[in-house]
Copies of this chain bind each other. A is one copy, B any other.
Amino acid sequence: MTDPLNVCLEKKAGFDLPDSPSSVGWTKPQKIILATSDNPLPLDCGASFAPITVEFETYGQLSPAKDNAIFILHALSGDAHAAGWDADWQKDKRPWRKNKPGWWDEAIGPGKAFDTNRYFVICANLLGSCYGTTGPWETDPLTGKPYALNFPVVTVDDWVRLHLRLQDYFEIEKLLAVVGGSLGGQQALAWSINYPERIKSAIIFSASARLGAQGLAFNAVGRQAIFNDPSFNNGNYYGLTPPWGGLELARMLGHITYLSYESMEGKFGRRFQNGTQPCYRLNSEFSVESYLEHQGRSFVQRFDANSYLYLTRAMDYYDASSHGGGNLAETCSSIDAQLLLIAYTSDWLYPPASTRALAEAIIANHKPVSYIEIPSAYGHDAFLLEVTRTAPLVASFLENALEKGDQ
C-alpha cells in the first residue's frame, strides 16, 4: 500500500507545477484554471460558468507518444487523491487524510491493476465537490460570498466536458482509458458516448446508464435530511455551524445502500454493542447502529453538505438514454471505445441487471463490450473492495487497449 512511485509529472511550459513532487513519489495536488470569463464552461442547465479551478493529481509518467494516459473518475465522496500515502500534505486543512492512502490505492501503483510503471494516471476532483475544485464552498467573485446554493446545478455530462479541458491541457489526443465506479462509472460512460474520438477504452464499475427510482428515493431522503437541519440555513452556513446532523443522517443512509443485505448480516448481524443481552434503550444498542453513527460522524468532518446536495443530484440526473431520445441503444450508437462493464451480484444501487441492459444496448450497435458479473457480497462498494479480484481483468483489458492503439 506504500509503493513510492518515484516518478513525477514532466514539467511543462505554462503549467504551474508545485515546487517539488511529494516525498512519497506522486505529484502533489495541483490546481489549474480550466474556465475563465473569456472561456466559461457551458452547463446542461443553460448557464455558462466561470471561473473554474480544478484540483488534480497524477501518477506515473506520460509517455512521449502520450498514449498511456488513464483518467480515473471519482465517485460521490472521492477526491483527486486516488493513490499513495498522504502523511505530510496539507495536514492542517485536511487532517482526516493523515496516514491514509488514496481512495483507490489498492488499484493504482507499480504492478497494480493501473500499473504506474506503464501508465500515466490522472484523477481530478469534481466541479461542485469540496476537495479543491470549484464548488459551493468557494467565494463567488461577483458577491464576495460563498456560492452556497447559488452554485449552478451540475451534471455528469458537465463534468466530462470540463475534464476534457484537462485532457486538452495535457495535449492527449486519446486517453487510453477512462475508468470509474458508481458516479465515476457514469462519467466513464458519458465520456464514451459524448467524446468517442477522445478515448480508446472505458472501464465502468458498479454503474449503469441511470439510477433507478429506488436510488433516486434514497438520495432524496438524504438531501431532505440536510434541508431539515436548522443549521442548513438555505446553504449559507460557511463560517457558522454546518448542518452536521443532516449530513450525518444522509451519510448513514447512503452507507446502507453501499453495503448489501448479506455483508451487513455477515459484518454485524444482530450483535449488541455491549454484551449479549439487550439494554432496552432507544438508541445505540446494536453494533450496526454505532457503526453507522461512526460513519456519519466521520463523514461530516471531511465533506461539505452543499457538495453532497449537488453531487447526489448529478447522480440522479444522469440518464444516458436521454442522448438517444430515451432510447439507450440509439444513445450507444456513438460509442467507439472498447468497453469493460463490471457489475457485482449484490449491488442493489446499480443492480447487475441494469448494467447488463447497458451491455445489451451497446451490443445492439455491434460495438465491442465485455460485461462481467462478479459474485460478491460487498454490494455497491465492491468496486472499492474487490480490487484483487478485478485486477487481472483490468490489466489484461488495458494491455489489449494499448496494443490496439499501437496497430
Binding site for B on A (CB under 8 A): 44-46, 149, 152-153, 210-214, 216-218, 220-221, 223-225, 227-230, 245-246, 248-249, 252-253, 256, 259, 261, 264-265, 267-270, 278, 280-283, 285-286, 288-289, 292-293, 309-310, 313, 316-317, 319, 348, 351
Known: A228-B246, A310-B282. A216 touches B153 (CB 8 A): no
Query: How long is the Cα–Cα vector from A281 to B151 in the complex, in angstroms?
Result: 11
Q: Cβ of A316 and Cβ of B213 under 8 Å apart?
A: no
Q: Cβ of B213 and Cβ of A253 under 8 Å apart?
A: no
Query: How long is the Cα–Cα vector from A44 to B268 in the complex, in angstroms?
Result: 24
Q: Which of B225, B283, B309 contacts A282 (CB 8 A)?
A: B309
Q: Cβ of A282 and Cβ of B153 under 8 Å apart?
A: yes
Query: How long is the Cα–Cα vector from A229 to B230 in the complex, in angstroms?
Result: 8
Query: How long is the Cα–Cα vector from A249 to B33 in the complex, in angstroms?
Result: 40
Query: How long is the Cα–Cα vector from A216 to B264 in the complex, in angstroms?
Result: 10
Q: Cβ of A348 and Cβ of B261 under 8 Å apart?
A: yes
Q: Which of B46, B267, B285 contacts A213 (CB 8 A)?
A: B267
**Smallest Cβ-Cβ distance to A228: which chain B residue:** B245
Q: Cβ of B221 and Cβ of A252 under 8 Å apart?
A: yes
Q: Cβ of A256 and Cβ of B223 under 8 Å apart?
A: no
Q: Cβ of A229 and Cβ of B227 under 8 Å apart?
A: no
Q: Which of B225, B259, B280 contacts A249 (CB 8 A)?
A: B225
**Smallest Cβ-Cβ distance to A46: which chain B residue:** B280
